Amino acid sequence: MNTFTARVEYDEETDEYILPLTDEVCNELGWHTGDTIDWKDNGDGSYILTKVQKKVATEKVLVETVSTFRMRYVVEVPVGKKEWALDTVTMNEAEEFSQEHIGEQIISHRVIDNEEYLRVFNEDNDYLKSWSDEQKFKFVTPLPEDEIEHSPSYFDFERNK
C-alpha cells in the first residue's frame, strides 16, 4: 500500500478544503483527473484514500489470427532437378535451417459467452480438458484497470487497413 502525508488547505475564496497532490504522487498511485476518490476517516486525524474503480460492463471477444513465417531449407539435388527440392520440402523431409516471423494477421473476431469460451478452449486444448473452469478462464486477457476508455486514436486506421 502506498502511503504519503499531505496537509489539507482551506481556500477562503471558494470556502472549500483542498488536498494538494503533486503529479508525482498521482502517477505513483495511478490517479488521474476525473477519478473518484473515496475518503475513509480513521478517527485519529488521518484518512485512507482509495481510487473508486469504475464498474464497466465487459464482454469476451475471440480474435483469430494467422501467423506468417518465412522458412528456409537447403536441399541437395542432382544438377538440373531443382524441382525435386520442392517435393522434399512439401513431404516434410527437409531440415529447416532458419525462420523469421513475418507477422500476424487478424482473420476474424466475434463476441463469445462463457459457454462458447469453454467449448473452444476444450476443442483447441484437448489435453487440458480436465482443468477446472477457473484455470481455463485464466487465459482470458483482462481489461487493464487503467485503460477503461481508449482514446479516439487508439485504433490506427492506417496500420489496420
| Gap between the Cα atoms of 65 and 56, Å rounded | 27
Q: How confident is the model at residue 147 (pLDDT cuts 50, 70, 90)?
A: low
What is the structure's pLDDT at 153? 52
**Domain match, 66 and 133 both:** yes
120 within 8 A of 62, measured Cβ to Cβ? yes
What one-letter code names the amino acid at 147?
A: E
pTM exceeds 0.85: no
Number of domains making up the chain = 2
**One domain, residues 130 and 109:** yes
Task: Give all strands (DSSP E) within 12-75, no chain letters.
Answer: 16-18, 37-41, 47-51, 60-73
Domain containing residue 95: 60-137
Q: Based on the domain organization, do 75 and 108 belong to the same domain? A: yes
Same domain, 40 and 66: no
- Same domain? For 34 and 66 the reply is no
How many CB atoms lie under 10 A from the CB of residue 121? 19
- Residue 154: per-residue pLDDT: 55
Q: List pLDDT tens digits, range 66-79.
A: 999 999 999 999 99
Does one domain contain both 43 and 71? Answer: no
Q: Is residue 107 one of the residues assigned to a domain?
A: yes
Query: What percent of the chain is helix, strand and coil (3-state, nearest 5)?
Result: 20, 30, 50
CA distance 141 to 126: 20
> Residues 22-38: pLDDT tens digits?
888 888 887 877 778 88
